Amino acid sequence: MQDDLDTIKTRILAATAAANSLESLERVRVEALGRKGRITALMKGLGAMDPETRKSAGAALNVLKDDVAAAIEARQEDLAGATLDARLMEEKVDVTLPVRAEGRGRVHPITQTIDEVIAIFGEMGFTVAEGPDIEDDWHNFTALNIPPEHPARQEHDTFYLPGMAGGHRRVLRTHTSPVQIRTMGEQKPPLRIIVPGRTYRCDYDATHSPMFHQVEGLVVDETTHMGHLKGCLIEFCRAYFGVEDLPVRFRPSYFPFTEPSAEVDIGCTRAGGAFRIGHGDDWLEILGCGMVHPKVLENCGIDAARYQGFAFGLGVERIAMLKYGIGDLRTFFESDLRWLRHYGFPALHIPSMVGGLNP
């Protein structure tokens, strides 16, 4: 019996030492000590022995069982330690490696331009107002003195939405002017707002995109006159283009919602094929404006005998293209990262910080 047990022990200890993974060691354990294991089977045999034999055999078996269990446990610890060491080696972080370059985002020229426009008018005391992209006929047209058969409706290449509101189809707003109506309907004069926002017209070429941006302006109070309109817009053009004595000209024009109406041109030169803003013999149109039409004031419940004001509207893409030399309007919306890296702006405008962080 003891010889048998010694052989069994030798074999199990050899298998334990030979096991080179936790899984194979577990198989050795199950074969020896599991429910159907070799040692377990011998333990079960004790019951059939006479008391004397059972006593000595039992003691010997217990010793065997304990020795084997201890050997397996020790091997288990060795293997677990080795596995951990291997993982630690494998997953070692090389702190000397240079950091991976991080993609730095850029501010889109449209956002930048709107921010610049807001900053300039903000200095003059304007606040920002906003309105919905989906408009009804009243706000986009009728209240702005553009009745149903008015030819100006055709010029707007309107996108109509399915469904009706008040007997009319709803539209994607064709300009930011409806926010004039909304603001005058909700607030009492004096008013001094600018309205940056998306606008939509069914048009697509190098200078038109079906979605584009405008900034609207509106001033209403009791004493505002054409001189204020001119002073305000001349100041804006000079500040935006950064040319202190930029020539600015007001040319009579027509808009249904203003009377009188004007278009604003800035001086430029196209000599020798190169385009430059500033002094020159040429003019370039950049925005529309005028004194708010009395009918528009009345449509918003404002007494036109007491109040008056001026309004203007400018195309954001247009003035961004002019200032930053962008040739094709469609590129604003193509989401080409190379384009954005070139024409975009750093998010941090504090020069010392940008310099400090980006040597």
Q: How far apart are CA 211 and CA 202, in angstroms?
A: 8
CB nearer to ligand DAH: give 107 or 110.
110
The one segment of 12-20, 34-42, 57-65, 307-315 that binds ligand DAH by CB under 6 A? 307-315
State the minimum distance, in angstroms, from the CB of residue 333 to ligand DAH. Answer: 19
Q: How far apart are CA 281 and CA 286, in angstroms?
A: 16
Q: Considering the rule CB under 6 A, would residue 289 count as an interface residue with ligand DAH?
A: yes
DSSP 137-163: HHHHTGGGT--TT-THHHHT-PPEEEE
State the minimum distance, in angstroms, from the CB of residue 251 to ligand DAH. Answer: 13
Q: Considering the rule CB under 6 A, would residue 196 count as an interface residue with ligand DAH?
A: no
Q: How far apart are CA 211 and CA 101, in angstroms?
A: 34
Q: Considering the rule CB under 6 A, would residue 258 count as an interface residue with ligand DAH?
A: yes
Q: Considering the rule CB under 6 A, would residue 177 count as an interface residue with ligand DAH?
A: yes
State the minimum distance, in angstroms, from the CB of residue 248 to ligand DAH. Answer: 16
CB nearer to ligand DAH: give 177 or 308.
177
SS3 state of residue 357: helix
Q: How far apart are CA 19 and CA 7, in angstroms?
A: 18
The Cβ-side half-sphere exposure at 118, using a 13 Å CA radius, reads: 14
x/- string (CB under 6 A) for ligand DAH, residues 147-166? Answer: --------------------
State the minimum distance, in angstroms, from the CB of residue 311 to ligand DAH. Answer: 3
Q: Considering the rule CB under 6 A, would residue 290 count as an interface residue with ligand DAH?
A: yes
CB nearer to ligand DAH: give 224 or 258.
258
CB nearer to ligand DAH: give 121 or 255.
255
- Using CB under 6 A, which residues numbered 95 to 134 contact ligand DAH? none
Contact partners, residue 35, CB within 8 Å, separation at least 6: none
- Using CB under 6 A, which residues numbered 7 to 26 contact ligand DAH? none
State the minimum distance, in angstroms, from the CB of residue 313 to ligand DAH. Answer: 2
Buried b (16+ CB within 10 A) or exposed e, 141-161: bbbbbbeeeeebbeebebbee
> What are residue 283's DSSP bridge partners?
267
CB nearer to ligand DAH: give 175 or 192.
175
Q: Considering the rule CB under 6 A, would residue 233 count as an interface residue with ligand DAH?
A: no
Contact partners, residue 118, CB within 8 Å, separation at least 6: 128, 194, 196
Angstrom distances, CA of residue 335 to CA of 74, 103, 343: 63, 16, 12
Angstrom distances, CA of residue 75 to CA of 11, 13, 117, 195: 15, 10, 75, 76
State the minimum distance, in angstroms, from the CB of residue 101 to ligand DAH. Answer: 43
Q: Would you tell me how many other CB atoms lie within 10 Å of the CB of residue 10?
A: 10
Residues contacting ligand DAH: total by CB under 6 A: 11
Q: Considering the rule CB under 6 A, would residue 216 count as an interface residue with ligand DAH?
A: yes
Out of 37, 109, 288, 309, the only residue in the binding site for ligand DAH (CB under 6 A) is 288
Q: How far is CA 359 from the centre of its chain?
A: 27
Out of 71, 313, 321, 329, the only residue in the binding site for ligand DAH (CB under 6 A) is 313
Residue nearest to ligand DAH (CB): 313
Closest to 75 measured CA to CA, from 138, 137, 27? 27
State the minimum distance, in angstroms, from the CB of residue 185 to ligand DAH. Answer: 16
Per CB under 6 A, residues contacting ligand DAH are 175, 177, 216, 255, 258, 288-290, 311-313
